[in-house]
Amino acid sequence: MTASASKHVVFATSGSLGDLYPFLALGQELRRRGHRATIATTANHRARVEAAGLGFRRMRPEPEESPDFLARFMHPKKGGEFVYRHFLAPAIADSYADLEKSCADADLLVSQSLMALAAPLLAARTGIPWISAVFQPMTLFSVHDRPNYLPYPVLPWLCGRDPVIHAKVLHYVRKYTEEWVRPVMDFRRGLGIDDAPHPMYEGQHSPDCVLAMFSPLLGGPRPDWPKAAVQTGTAQVALPASASSPELDAFLARCDRPLAVFTLSSTASDTGTFYAAALEAARSAGMRALLVTSGAAALQASGLPSRLPDWALRVDYAPFERVFPHAAVVVHAGGIGTAFKAMQAGVRQVVVPHAHDQLDNAMRLQRLGVGRLLRPSQASKRRLAGVIMEALRDETMRKTATRVQAAALAENGAAAACDIIERRLAHA
């Protein structure tokens, strides 16, 4: 690529590492192709953005680094309302101001749907070319999918049986959630922008291009997806190699017992109880236990004894792409990135979902045949051990995981998405 063809792309997102990593992957790929990429996100992600070789610009609001905030953010039933009503929406003016500065010399804006509420407003107000991206199947809110985000079990079951019923329920959900994003709608009106689109539904999508950046193994196009949607597959970031841990390396190299990896990633609810149950489940199953208590989980890992048995190891961080291939089973909360890493490793999964898209991802993994779903309320020591053993004895699941592994490894969502971005840049 010639220097004159180089363009500047700004990516906007907030949230957890799962909300950041796909854009780091796209930024790295665009940089490799000769473009400049900047990530507009919260300050707690700055080090990771810069370590990936990309530009950083701050975009508020900033999350609180406290157990109470994380517990409310990841509440099983009220997490979504907290994120929008109490965190993202009230800060829309700050988000808009920050993103406007970030895009001052940008040729294209790419935003994560639902987690960058200012992006559609900036595009409408300034005319900057805009692409939106969706990282999880659930957030396209198709009436042809079961709405596992609804808090009352009978509604997902009922809606999953009939798209017509689902559409009627969705109508009321949309009206109810308008109050969550009322500040966004008021701010939008103040900018003189059409007040019709719901910021959490059709208003989150670019009319020109929507990147569906998740694996087709977990869900393909639906009749009511946005007309501009294009499925790219999952984008995997190439993180800088971390210093090797001799203790972790030695633990992974052991062959005396099969390995179970336990991680809740950003889940904040009852993690101490989970890891204590995980330790006992591994003991009952005769397995080694690697307890990855990174992120919010580290705040509540106090349920573990100070001294672990020699068949268990707790670490604050472990690169999943290196760890998962050693595992016989991975037990996690259902984050889309963690799930896909396990799919690429060809390993069986037990999913204990807590909030947001996690239950939907878990049910898709179970339907695919590579995972088993265990509700948090059922994840006692005995039941967790039982489900792990069921997964290990399931020969069909083992074969399916191996078959899925080949397809997952063949995905190159970053290249596919950047091909689309470059075509858009050619007309910017």
212 and 267 belong to one structural domain: no
> H or E stretch including 365?
helix 358-368
Q: Which residue do the tokens 């063809």 mark? A: 5
- pLDDT score of 52 more than 60: yes
383 and 351 belong to one structural domain: yes
Q: What is the CATH number of the domain that holds 217?
A: 3.40.50.2000
Position 228 in a domain? yes
Mean pLDDT, the chain, rounded, equals 92
Helices (H) and strands (E) in the chain, counts: 17, 13
- pLDDT score of 415 more than 90: yes
Phi, psi values for residue 349, rounded to 5° = -125, 140
Coil vs helix vs strand at 55: strand
192 and 106 belong to one structural domain: yes
> Which pair of structure tokens corresponds to residue 229?
């949607």
Position 55 in a domain? yes
| pTM of the predicted structure, to 2 decimals | 0.93
Q: Is 368 within 8 Å of 218 (Cβ atoms)?
A: yes
Sign of the CA dihedral 288, 292, 297, 303? positive
Residue 314 lies in domain: 246-410
Q: How confident is the model at residue 288 (pLDDT cuts 50, 70, 90)?
A: very high
Q: Report the candidate in 201, 237, 193 with the shortest Cα–Cα distance to residue 31.
A: 237
292 and 191 belong to one structural domain: no
β-partners of residue 57 are: 40
Q: How far apart, in Å, are the Cα atoms of 424 and each of 6, 9, 278?
A: 13, 11, 47
- pLDDT score of 299 more than 60: no
What one-character DSSP code corresponds to residue 331? E
Position 86 in a domain? yes
Query: How much is the CA Rg of the chain, to the nearest whole Å?
Result: 21
Position 196 in a domain? yes
Q: How far apart are CA 221 and CA 273, in angstroms?
A: 38
Q: Which residue do the tokens 């509540």 mark? A: 300
74 and 99 belong to one structural domain: yes
177 and 98 belong to one structural domain: yes
36 and 84 belong to one structural domain: yes
177 and 297 belong to one structural domain: no
Q: How far apart, in Å, are the Cα atoms of 55 and each of 24, 41, 47, 171, 210?
A: 10, 11, 10, 40, 23
DSSP string, 26-49: HHHHHHHTT-EEEEEE-GGGHHHH
Q: Model confidence over 226-265: pLDDT tens digits?
A: 999 999 999 999 887 666 789 999 999 998 899 999 998 6
Coil vs helix vs strand at 212: strand
Q: How far apart are CA 264 and CA 287, in angstroms?
A: 19
Strands of the sheet containing 288-292, edge to edge, are 312-315, 288-292, 259-263, 329-332, 348-351, 371-373
Q: Is 356 within 8 Å of 80 (Cβ atoms)?
A: yes
Region for 297 from its dihedrals, namely left if φ exceeds 0, alpha if ψ lies in -120 to 50, beta otherwise: alpha
Q: How far apart are CA 151 and CA 50, in angstroms?
A: 38
How far the first Cα of the chain sits from its last, in Å, is: 17
Specify the range with the lowest mean pLDDT, choosing from 123-132, 273-282, 411-420.
273-282
Q: Model confidence over 356-391: pLDDT tens digits?
A: 999 999 999 999 999 999 998 888 888 999 999 999
Report pLDDT for 4. 45
204 and 134 belong to one structural domain: yes
> Which pair of structure tokens corresponds to residue 310?
């020699």
Q: Which residue do the tokens 């992957």 mark? A: 25
Position 240 in a domain? no
Q: Which residue do the tokens 């977990």 mark? A: 218
196 and 319 belong to one structural domain: no
194 and 258 belong to one structural domain: no
How many domains does the chain contain in total? Answer: 2
Position 239 in a domain? no
Q: How far apart are CA 345 and CA 326, in angstroms?
A: 9
Q: How far apart are CA 38 and CA 31, in angstroms?
A: 10
Position 31 in a domain? yes
Report pLDDT for 2. 43
Across the range 119-145, mean pLDDT stands at 97
Q: Model confidence over 14-41: pLDDT tens digits?
A: 999 999 999 999 999 999 999 999 999 9
Q: How far apart are CA 99 and CA 27, in angstroms?
A: 17
169 and 265 belong to one structural domain: no
